[in-house]
Structure 1
Amino acid sequence: DDNQSGDSSDDNQSGDSSDDNQSGDSSDDNQTDNSKSSDEKDKSGYSLNACSDDIQSALDADEDELICDLHKKIRELMEEKAEEFEQKFVEEFDATYFAPALPFPCKKSANASGIPDWVTEARMNSQRIKTVLHSILYDRNKSKRSFDKQGTDLCSGAIWGVKAGNSRIFRTDAITRAPNSAFTILVDKSGSMGFSDMRTANVAAYSIAQALEFLKGTECEVLYYPFGSYDEPHNHVAKAFNERMASVTSTSFNVHANGGTPTAEALLGAVTNLIQRKEERKIIFLITDGDTAGPNVKAALQECDVLGITVIGIGIKTGELSGFENRPTMLIDQCADLAPAMFNFLRDYYQA
């Protein structure tokens, strides 16, 4: 009984002590809150509770006494920093600073419907390009046949040699397949292309796309630039990777020349689509009449190099493509030149 009473007294004592602690903590908290509020008041210099005198003084304040426009102030600071950065860029790289290009979004436009009058010519031209691509791409699917004294595949044509001492009658076939490839055909439809060059570019793009459609292991999309308004430019998807040429011929390929030449933005937009493909080789055919120079285009081409994307320039009636001096280029004057030019280039490209 004494122990029990002792325990209960201990409990009471501990309970009292906990209550004391709690009351002490709460008092400390109150003191802390009071000190915080007093500190805030001391630091700010004014009360958060505005009275009628404060409101009246704010209404009667002069323009110099009011808080400045924060948006204007931030803009001025950003402009000042931009000038400092531009000067630093010129001193470091010894070149004029240029604004980075932003990739165009890729989407279908409703302004390319109708069957073009050049479709028949393009389909005839695609047969020649198909033959070229087939010979180049499928030549890399090489078969190597060997014979051994043991194996699982008996060659019936070699059995007759056993009596003559040839015991290598088991055949082994080793096939080296060409890697799959994803192609993007990017077509410049700027006003400088004109009627004749635009027709050549259309036939070339359609011919290549249709030829690739019949080659196993290759996928292709066709993009035109620029489409849309000045505020919302984009790449027009004439044919997506998952579409067939027959389904889009009358709805997406009736494209005419107009607009500027934002090659860098269009190229970056094409890269955004192409880089998501699983194919091992990724290739962009850039069909244009020129205007491929400039720091923005150079930066876009360098980004393609980093991502492992090969950009092949196809120049329409031009002596050279500026910016492609050390890059793969094909120059054609008419659609009939495309097949032999492509054969010579792809043969060297795949052999390399």
Structure 2
Amino acid sequence: TLALLERLRDEAREQQQQTEQEEQEAYDESETETDTDTDTESEDKSLESTDSREDDSEDDSEGQADTSDNSDLAQEGCSEPSELAEDNEGNNEPTGGNPTGDNIIEDDTDAINPSESESDEASSTNVEDESNFSSAQWEILADLLDAFLGSDEDSEDYHDALAKEIEGIASKVSDDVKAEFGASEWDIPDLLIDLNVYNEALSLSHSIGSDLSVLQQVKMRGRNKTHERGITFDGNRLILSPMGVRDVFRAQSESKNRGHVGLVLVRDISASMANDERYIHAIKSDLALSMAAESLSKMHVSNIVFPFKESEFEIIKTFDQSVEESLSKFTLGCKGYYTPTGSALMAAVDLLLDSQFDRKIIFLITDGYPNKSEFTIGEVMEKAKCNGIEIVGVGIKTDEIIGFETDTFVTVDDTSLLSIEVSKLVHQILS
């Protein structure tokens, strides 16, 4: 907006200068035309006086010629009247093409016409390009814009002002009318993910991406299936069985290698997240972690929020979807009335059990106070442990997450500290 106003001011200045220049050119042209008209009138008068003198001279010559002829006729006495008439006609009508005053004036008129037509064309062009404002008005506009741009007062953002007006109108609409049109409070975002929020989350994702990439270093352990533990006897181990060696199968290598990781982010959107605007930090953390995981070729991320409308949880992004596709679903932050943390975590465990990832991890983003849930945190932890699924917590402005040991979660008081806490989470808890 500021750049637009500055551009408008500069254009007003340019328009002012252009208008002044056009006015000066028009004035100069009018002066030139006045001088030309004066010169033309003088030339016309001069030509008329010249023609008059020439006519008088010709008349005198003709009179003298007639007198001379009559004198000759009287002396000779041999000429007929008809011959005298012919002589008079010959003297009155010249045989040659003597130039007259009329011919000279016509030539001068033809010479003047082209310049007049050019002047008319220039005049019509100026009329077409003529501004609706005078140079003085352009100057006033430029001064007003200068004063506005130089002011220290902060004017209210147009979008914020419009949003307030819309909120005021919406507050006057009754619940019955809203219900009639199918409107729900769940349709209203708690945090609008505009360009600023998106870019902030994207910047955070760049800072935590390298730490999350460490999670792709998978140690193959805790195998429970027969084909994972080996189906071929190992001769060297078999001969040691009398000494108590029980693992006699040739197993896969247990060295670390890069494998595919399934990550589920479970975010609390209960009403308590509205305290201290925790939901804002939670949404931004959720977005940043999702973007960072998505940028890694062997990491796959899914997102769950809880509670959701009439259910205990909602999967807002599957492993196959991108963050961009599901961006509008990240806007909810504190709509729920209770906190069914156990049920949401159990849904994440089941989601990972149905997948074929080499490593399976759950991040819980919450303010730490669960209630009213079909499953307890302890029950979920036990099932996850038995199936090789790791669960860690990201506490938003809290020093305690009920059901979690102190060494299984980190605290994020502000999203600017997210990269530091994620580094702790990866290198001290999950490694």
TM-score by length of 2: 0.44
Residues 308 and 261 of structure 1: CA distance in aligned 2, closer, same or farther (over 3 Å) = same
Query: How far does residue 274 in structure 1 lie from its aligned partner after superposition?
Result: 1.4
- Give me the whole-angstrom Cα distance separating, in 2, the residues matched to 1:297 and 1:139: 28
Determine if contact 1:287/1:316 at 8 Å carries over to the other structure.
yes
C-alpha distance in structure 1 between counterparts of 2:370 and 2:333, whole Å: 20
* Alignment-derived partner of residue 67 in structure 1: none
Aligned length: 205
Partner of 1:187: 267
Which residue number corresponds to residue 57 of structure 2?
none
Choose between structure 1 and 2: higher strand proportion: 1
Counterpart contact for 1:190–1:226, Cα < 8 Å: yes
Partner of 2:333: 256
Give the aligned partner of residue 212 of structure 2.
133
Distance (Å, rounded) in 1 between the aligned partners of 2:409 and 2:260: 22
2:319 aligns with: 241
- For the 8 Å contact 1:237–1:252, the answer to whether it is kept is no
Equivalence for 2:304: 223
Question: Is the 8 Å Cα contact of residues 130 and 212 (structure 1) preserved in structure 2?
Answer: yes
Q: What is the SS of the residue equivalent to 2:193?
A: coil
Identity level (%): 25
Cα distance in 1 for partners of 2:414, 2:357 equals 31
The answer to whether 1:305 aligns with 2:385 is yes
Alignment of 1:115-126 (within 5 A): 116-117=193-194, 118-126=197-205
Aligned match of 1:287 in 365, 377, 382? 365
Give the counterpart letter for 1:300 in structure 2: V
Deviation of 1:237 (Å):
2.1
Give the 3-state SS of the residue equivalent to 2:403 in structure 1.
coil
Q: What is residue 315 of structure 1 aligned with on the other side?
A: 395
List alignment gaps of at least 5 residues for structure 2: 1-185, 220-254
Report the Cα distance in structure 1 between the residues aligned to 2:192 and 2:326, rounded to whole angstroms: 10
Q: 1:299 to 1:137 in 2, by over 3 A?
A: closer
SS of equivalent to 1:298: helix
**Cα distance in 2, alignment partners of residues 292 and 301 from structure 1:** 14
Q: Which has the larger radius of gyration?
A: 2
AA matched with 2:324: A
- Kindly report the root-mean-square deviation, in angstroms, between the aligned alpha carbons of the 2 structures: 2.7
Greater relative contact order, per chain length (Cα 8 Å cut-off, separation 6+)? 1
Q: Could you give the per-residue CA deviations for residues 154-186 of structure 1, whole angstroms, max 9, x where no partner exists?
A: xxxxxxxxxxxxxxxxxxxxx963232100000
Which digits, 9 at most, give the CA deviation of each residue in 1:26-59, with x for residues without a partner? xxxxxxxxxxxxxxxxxxxxxxxxxxxxxxxxxx
- What is the CA–CA distance in structure 2 between the aligned matches of 1:329 and 1:140, rounded to whole Å? 21
Gaps of 5+ in 1: 1-109, 142-174
Give a deviation string over 1:248-276, Cα, whole Å, max 9, x none.
21x31111303210111111112121111
Output the TM-score relative to the length of structure 1.
Answer: 0.53
The amino acid across from 2:205 in the alignment is S
